[in-house]
A and B are shown apart, each in its own frame.
Chain A
Amino acid sequence: MSEMRWHPLLRQWVVTATHRQERTYKPPKEYCPFCPTQPGAFPTEVPASQYEIVVFENRFPSFRREPPGPDVEGSELYPVRPAQGVCEVVLYSQDHDASLREMPVQHIDRLVQVWTDRYIELGSRPEIEYVFIFENKGDAVGVTLHHPHGQIYAFPYIPPIPQAELDAGREHREKTGRCLMCDIVAEERRGPRVIWESEHFSAYVPFFARYPFEVHIAAKVHLPSLAEMSREQQTGLAQAIKAVGTAYDYLFGFPLPYMMVMHQKPTDGRAHPDAHFHVEFYPLNRTADKLKYLAGCESGAGTFITDMAPEIQAQRLREALARSGLS
């Protein structure tokens, strides 16, 4: 079963993909399906003995290029649609134990080029309205395979959170004539929450951080998506990602689990002048050994409760970055 069911109360789609229950769950390292296939060894997803970066279609996709028809009949109250789209896996490196933070900037820069290629190619498909690039890292986030990888979901619609940001951006522009994200970046750069900055990008704990040690990376100039970045800006993004990853790993002295998501211009053919590329990181550790759970208030009321002022979070991340020697 793989279909989109409409949630009329929240006015958003829910994807029902029952086949994903069968997906691989934490295999031993020697049976990692994302490592290269070695002579005499079992065949992995990659039929070659080495690679730099690989992208392939997810074996257990939430969206498919040619989805089956829905298993249930929809109604006016409960519309149902085939879950059409594309789900890709991006293997960052053939090295099973690598992490974004430990990779040279040059390799992350190459990853940025691959993300850009996927954004353009997937976004050019007529049925794709939003290309969502993300990474889940660490057991706490529910990762089932530890080989360094991210994912791309090419959606047949604009998902609710990017849509909410675009709606807010449109209202802000109507009121002020300016880009909301440009105003946010300018405001953050004046304040105490910046943790790292370069010529092209700023990394900060936002004023409104919801997750512990949440960090956003945003372009200092108005860049709608990866597709508009110069090579220099792509390299700048790679440096920023490495800096944030480094701050996280030095914060508690272990690789910090997080979700990394990219918000950018939809690919539905409309202008979207308010889309402003940015990356958001959502860690779950509020301390070294305590996790932040999305419990009743967050899940049921949609209101996040944070345990530490964003200004203090930013200070601790700056200190962690200083300890690493990278800042």
Chain B
Amino acid sequence: MEKRTIQKEDGRYLIFYAFERPIPEVWEEKGARDDEEPNAPPSAASPEGGED
């Protein structure tokens, strides 16, 4: 099991757990490395995020 913690813009943490695939790239990093704007907005903060 691999894990990686990232910080969201609003200060909350998010942890990716990976078992059979590599830890996924997040959109901000992918956009920076490709030297182009990511297709999706870089912010992870969803206007509709949350849960029950």
Check: B15 CB closer than 8 A to any chain A CB: yes
Query: Which of B15, B40, B52 has most chain A Cβ within 10 Å?
Result: B52
Instruction: Assess the A33–B17 pair: CB atoms within 8 A.
Output: no
Min distance, Cβ A163 to any Cβ of chain B, angstroms: 25
Across the interface, which residues of B come within 8 angstroms of A221, CB to CB? none
Within 8 A of B (CB), among A27-64: 27, 31, 33-34, 36-60
Segment touching B, from A139-147, A304-312, A316-324? A139-147
Check: A24 CB closer than 8 A to any chain B CB: yes
Instruction: Assess the B49–A54 pair: CB atoms within 8 A.
Output: no
Instruction: Assess the A89–B43 pair: CB atoms within 8 A.
Output: no
Segment touching B, from A110-118, A169-177, A243-251, A295-303? A110-118
Instruction: Assess the A51–B24 pair: CB atoms within 8 A.
Output: yes
Number of interface residues of A (CB under 8 A): 43
Majority SS of interface residues in chain B? loop
Number of interface residues of B (CB under 8 A): 35
Min distance, Cβ B46 to any Cβ of chain A, angstroms: 5
A27 to B47, CA, bound (A): 12
Known: A48-B27, A52-B20. A42 touches B51 (CB 8 A): no
Within 8 A of A (CB), among B1-52: 1, 3, 6, 8, 10, 12-21, 24-28, 38-52
Across the interface, which residues of A come within 8 angstroms of B27, CB to CB? 37, 43, 47-49
Check: A235 CB closer than 8 A to any chain B CB: no
> Chain A, 186-218, contact with B by CB distance < 8 Å: what is the 0/1 string?
000000000000000000000000000000000
Known: A38-B40, A40-B39. A33 touches B16 (CB 8 A): no
A226 to B52, CA, bound (A): 25
A284 to B47, CA, bound (A): 32
Which residues of chain B have a CB within 8 Å of any CB of chain A? 1, 3, 6, 8, 10, 12-21, 24-28, 38-52
Which residues of chain A have a CB within 8 Å of any CB of chain B? 23-24, 27, 31, 33-34, 36-60, 89, 110, 113-114, 117, 136, 142-145, 149, 151
